[in-house]
Amino acid sequence: MDALLLVFIIIISILLLLVNVYILAVYIHPDDKGFGNSIFPKIIIVLGLSLAWGQMFMVPLDVANSRGDGGGINMDLFWKIILICDAVLLIALIPFSIFKYEGDDEDGFWKRTCSAICYTIGTIAFFGLAIGVSYAFLREASIPIQVYTYSADSLEASTTETSWATLSAASVATDDTLTMNVSIPVYIMGFFSLLGWFFFLLFGGMGLFAIPMDFINDFRYRPKKKSRKELENTKVELTRKNQELLELAKNLKGSTERVGNEGGFFSKRRLESKVNRDKNKFKVSFLAFEKEYEIWVLEKNYKDSNPLIYCMKLVLGVLCFVVSIIWWLQVLLHCVIKVNGYPLTGFLNNMLVYLQEKAGVGFISTGIFCFMSIYLIWAVTKGNVKFGLRIPFLFTLHPMKPNETLMNAFLFNVWLIIVSSIACIEFVTNAFSQYVRLTTVEMLFGVQIKYLKFYNFFYKNDIFEIAFLVWSFLGLIFLFFCGYNQPQELKQIEKLKKEAAKIKK
């Protein structure tokens, strides 16, 4: 392997680990924070997210390797290792971590571990049975091919210099089908890919435009900061109210002391009633003052925020929106719209092939392809966080929220992202079929898995690509009108203002 390529892979792996540790720290629930608390599930989360993102880098690496720029890596072995890691995480490690975490806290360590192992064995048996039974009936791939036949006369008439031209002119092409049984590893990859398509469409379709729209909406609904003069006036008003509360507290204390010294029954009762009214008034005034002070602190902190941050978000949002549109057009023009069974245009394929073969700048085409692949898995992750596994109009199953995500919910969502990433690889392979030709991943997904029994129906009719276009378009409409979540600080300001208004009433 080329030394520079090896260094690049190491750097990317380290960056992925660091980023995913940061994601874990941002979203994890306070009850699960701490290095020594639930350490094994945290390792599984970081490794699972790193694998989901990291295997997207394998597709550009496969392309570079097939063009002679990858250092002669055995990509067939590489992909099988990736597949094994995916399967182990999906079938064994993540279910074990969930079962162990959800075990009864009153049980001892070994009892919870044994219980988790038993449930995990059941999960492995379930997937093993599903894969084994379906493999027995669906392992056959019917690959369409063209068979060229030649006459004996054309073979005798051909010369060394013109043999290929002569044979080509004299040949007769007929359509035929090559039937073969795929191996167990390839079928397992196809099985999880088909399973992952549902989640990929759900998350990737929503996340494709959620990435730019969140950046743009952050700019559109940026906080309207108060001027320094307005904040100073509010501070003066709060100081005045604070003095009034102090005076009210002093008077209340004096009235309470007079109640104890009052001798007459009726006069004592009248004084007690007045003291109780003053206590209620003080309590309401103090609560309102407290809310107003918290609002002032939050607004003051917003004043100190850098306005350039929101301008940068707008620029990023516009750039990401262009990338999302390019992805949408790539799927539409290359995968869905076809003329005589062939794509209408290669679109980005044409550009990447030109850069690779004619312009002689293969590293640029590899970089662009790498970025487009990573953008897609970013969309999947964004869609998972933004939309989640939602039952329309009812609830979201294990939603991801900053500082509120319990470990079992985190593990569940990592499981969804990993299985979605397998379908994401196949989606990238289909969308850039011309550019990834002659690669190992194209041989796996574009030849063997694509033509499996039952699976072939979805791929032949472009069901997934059409669903992706429709769902992503609907997601764009949803995000434009009602898909924006205010920053936590703004939500808190609005909540405090409502509470203060209720108190004053």
Dihedral of alpha carbons 195, 197, 200, 206, sign: negative
Answer yes or no: do 319 and 293 share one domain: no
Answer yes or no: do 78 and 92 share one domain: yes
pLDDT tens, N- to C-terminus, the chain (505 residues) = 455 656 777 788 788 888 888 888 888 888 777 665 678 888 899 999 999 998 888 888 888 888 766 566 788 888 888 888 898 999 999 999 888 887 766 677 778 888 889 999 999 999 999 999 988 888 888 777 767 666 555 555 554 444 545 555 556 667 667 788 888 888 888 888 888 898 999 899 889 999 998 888 878 777 666 666 766 777 777 788 778 777 877 777 777 777 666 656 566 667 777 777 777 777 777 777 776 777 666 666 665 556 677 788 899 999 999 999 999 999 999 989 888 878 888 888 889 888 888 887 777 888 888 899 999 999 999 988 887 766 554 456 677 777 778 888 889 999 999 999 999 998 999 889 888 888 888 888 877 888 888 888 888 888 899 999 999 999 888 887 775 655 555 555 555 556 556 655 5
Answer yes or no: do 119 and 96 share one domain: yes
Answer yes or no: do 276 and 356 share one domain: no
Reduce the DSSP state of residue 487 to 3 states and report it: coil
Residue 358 · residue 352 · CB < 8 Å: no
Residue 155 covered by a domain: no
Distance in angstroms (rounded) separating the CA atoms of residues 276 and 318: 60
* Confidence (pLDDT) at 194: 87
- If one counts the domains in the chain, the total is 2
CB-based burial, 471-489: b 16+ in 10 Å, e otherwise? bbeebbeebeeebeeeeee
* Confidence (pLDDT) at 160: 46
Q: Which residues pair with 148 in a beta bridge?
A: 173
Question: Last residue of a domain, which of 304, 327, 344?
Answer: 304
What does the DSSP assignment read for 367-384? HHHHHHHHHHHHHHHHHH
Answer yes or no: do 61 and 206 share one domain: yes
Residue 162 covered by a domain: no
Residue 190 covered by a domain: yes
Answer yes or no: do 254 and 388 share one domain: no
Residue 355 covered by a domain: yes
Distance in angstroms (rounded) separating the CA atoms of residues 195 and 452: 15
Reduce the DSSP state of residue 401 to 3 states and report it: coil
For residues 3, 8, 11 and 12, what is the CA-based torsion angle, rounded to 10 degrees? -150
Answer yes or no: do 292 and 410 share one domain: no
Answer yes or no: do 250 and 340 share one domain: no
Structure token pair of residue 409: 């919910």
Residue 493 covered by a domain: yes
Give the H/E segment covering residue 406: none
Distance in angstroms (rounded) separating the CA atoms of residues 142 and 457: 12
Residue 268 covered by a domain: yes
Domain region containing 281:
228-304
Question: Last residue of a domain, which of 304, 336, 357?
Answer: 304
pLDDT of 388-424, one tens digit each?
A: 766 554 456 677 777 778 888 889 999 999 999 999 9
Residue 272 covered by a domain: yes
* Confidence (pLDDT) at 189: 84
Answer yes or no: do 385 and 357 share one domain: yes
Answer yes or no: do 457 and 321 share one domain: yes
Reduce the DSSP state of residue 390 to 3 states and report it: strand
Question: Last residue of a domain, which of 304, 330, 361?
Answer: 304
Answer yes or no: do 109 and 209 share one domain: yes
* Confidence (pLDDT) at 161: 46
Distance in angstroms (rounded) separating the CA atoms of residues 390 and 295: 33
Characterise 78 by phi-psi region: left (phi > 0), alpha (psi -120 to 50), beta (else): alpha
- Distance in Å from the first CA to the final CA of the chain: 74
Residue 157 covered by a domain: no
* Confidence (pLDDT) at 353: 87
Answer yes or no: do 331 and 374 share one domain: yes
SS3 track for 288-310:
HHHHHHHHHHHHHHHHCCCHHHH
Phi first, then psi: what are they for 401, rounded to 5°? -135, 140
